[in-house]
Amino acid sequence: MDAPIHLPLLPCGVGSMRHTDPAEAVSEVLEDYWRLPFWPQLPKRSAEELMIPQAGLSLPGASWDGQHITWSGQISDSDLENAALPPRDRAEGLYELLDHLSGVPEERKSQVVKGQLVGPITLARWSRNAAGASPLQDLETLQRLGAWLGAAAAEQARVFQRQGFQAIIMFDEPELASVGEPSIPLPWREVIPVLRAAIEPLQRIGALAGIHCCAAPNWTRVLDARPNLIHFDAREGHVDDVIEHHRAVREHVARGGYLGWGLWPTDGRGPLPFDSKDMQYFLANKARDLSFVDASVGLIFKRSMLTGVCGGAGLDANTERQVARDLEELSMGIRRRYWIAATTDVDPDSPLT
């Protein structure tokens, strides 16, 4: 699973932004998150840029009623082989970013780009076949759905790799917090192979496969699927859901895994304002709670990205720009204050690393 990518507390976005103009959104990303840019999803431009229809409408025979995807329920070998990016009218931010990456000045050119799409368990929860049956009711269909999303994710990674970037593709999986509940009536032993089916195509081509869940799943079981990165709600009162699984997280970091800390409260549930200096102490203490020998605080910092808790589509312009400024201040402040000698191959004063 180890991959030669440094993420030393780099600020990044989760996915969605407030914009309706893709050019403005990408310009903001390349200005505010240039060390780890991401392509912006723009649900205010079109409801079909919401994560469920953005990917789900590419399924065979798919339609969307504003809540559920209805599709054929069958994924052929040809569908797997031809899994592709969503069309431009459902992912304007992706194509706009691809159009602009080659023109980024060398001194502000990142090594890594992040993409995202919905994960298989969440898409299954919100999709049906023509008879009204959920993929969750048929493990073979669910496994094929995972493989299809994995193939689409791999194609997303390839378009960045062709431009010379390393790629992180995150699967947005809020429904993992409901595994074993009535909405996801499956045991983890049946969920993990589905997650693996999505993750493996990315890992085979040298990209990082991540799982984002801003709720509180069983992280030990999520990590059994061997993602390269887990992204979680890391605020006070929430990060303890991750620390509870510290043994699995330590093993994850020790074998080359990465962490995504969702720290800025983009869901509007405070505390506000965000104090980057206080957050330096908070993050350092929580990293210590997770650390142990082969997963030291220095190693955790070297393999972490910093974000808002979730997407920014619900934020106003001033607040969305403030998120980026606060995360940058947090990143550079904690690198200077807490950097560990073991990370001497990364300059804590350089925003390029």
Q: What is the pTM of this model?
A: 0.94
Has residue 352 been placed in a domain?
no
Residue 321 in domain: yes
Bond prior to 271 in cis (omega within 30° of 0): yes
Parent domain of 58: 7-343
Distance CA 109, CA 242 (A): 33
Does residue 196 lie within any of the structural domains? Answer: yes
Residue 77 in tokens = 């070998």
For residue 215, being part of any structural domain is answered with yes
- 348 within domain boundaries: no
Over residues 98-130, the pLDDT tens digits come to 999 999 999 999 999 999 999 999 999 999 999
Residue 208 has pLDDT above 50, yes or no: yes
Contacts for 325 with CB less than 8 Å, ≥ 6 apart: 32
Tell which residue, 229, 225, 237, has the closest CA to residue 265: 237
Provide the β-strand partners of residue 7: 303
Over residues 54-61, the mean pLDDT reads 98
pLDDT of 345 reads 54
- Cβ–Cβ contacts within 10 Å for residue 351, how many? 14
What is the DSSP pairing of strand 112-118 with strand 63-64? unpaired
Q: Which residue has the higher pLDDT, 299 or 100?
A: 100
The count of structural domains within the chain is 1
Residue 351 in domain:
no
Lowest-confidence pick of 135-149, 313-327, 330-344:
330-344
- 257: closest CA among 279, 231, 230? 230
Task: Using pLDDT thresholds of 50, 70 and 90, give the confidence band for residue 3.
Answer: very low
Average pLDDT over residues 299-327: 93
- 247-275 residue pLDDT tens: 999 999 999 999 999 999 987 665 567 88
Q: Is residue 349 part of a domain?
A: no
The residue among 194, 171, 167, 205 whose CA lies nearest residue 75 is 194
pLDDT tier at 352, thresholds 50, 70, 90: low
Q: Is residue 111 one of the residues assigned to a domain?
A: yes
**Domain CATH code at residue 260:** 3.20.20.210
Name the nearest CA neighbour of 302 among 334, 274, 327, 324.
334
